Structure 1
Amino acid sequence: MASTSHPLVTAGQLGTVLQAARKAQGLTQSALASRVGLSQSRVSHLELNAHELSVEQLLAWCAALGLELAVGTRGSAAVSTAPTTDW
């Protein structure tokens, strides 16, 4: 499976990407809800209102769908996965 990146600049885009990833895997909102410890109605709400997702919920959602969350400089061609110690 090829790696696909989806640059996001709005919460609405995040909701769309999360919903598309769920559907691409053939998961219902109920099945995803079970994996992330939420109700089906909450998953539905968060897909439409992704700005309400907590970071913890977003990371759990990504893990449940096999997604990776990466933050990088806008416009960069690639995101390094090498650990950094510059903190």
Structure 2
Amino acid sequence: MPHTLVTPIQMGQILKTARKTSQLSQTKLASRVGLSQSRISAFEQQPENIGLGQLLSVLNVLGLELTIQPRQNTAPQAQLARDSDAPEW
């Protein structure tokens, strides 16, 4: 099920829910990712401190992926402002 994140706390909640759904303890997840249990706990409680590489590793073990896409239902003026600043991919 897709999730739209607006705050870092939401990422922590998603990670915790996915870990529990996978029936993994923080210790077991940490072992699979190569991190400490305290680091996994910190991810769940203070997700704003997650490094991108570590986040992707945790998501991979949990069978999740990160997708970035344009916002839905964006006001035209706001979209134009973003488009002018957006990198050309």
Query: Identity of paired residues, percent?
Result: 47
CA RMSD of aligned residues (A): 1.3
Answer 1 or 2: which has greater helix percent: 2
Matched, 1:50 2:56: no
1:63 corresponds, among 56, 60, 72, to 60
**Aligned ranges for residues 34-49 of structure 1 at < 5 Å?**
34-49=31-46
Amino acid at match of 1:19: K
Deviating beyond 2 angstroms after TM superposition, the runs of 4 or more aligned structure 1 residues are none
Number of equivalenced pairs: 75
Task: Spell out the pairing of 1:3-82 with structure 2 (5 A cutoff).
Answer: 4-75=1-72
TM-score (norm 2): 0.79
Q: Displacement of 1:75 after TM fit?
A: 2.1
Relative to the length of structure 1, the TM-score reads 0.81
Give ranges in structure 1 of 5+ residues lacking alignment: 77-85
Helix, strand or coil at the partner of 1:20: helix
User: Quick check: 56-65 or 67-76, which moved more?
Assistant: 67-76
For the pair shown, the structure with the greater C-alpha radius of gyration is 2
Which residue type is aligned with residue 22 of structure 1? R
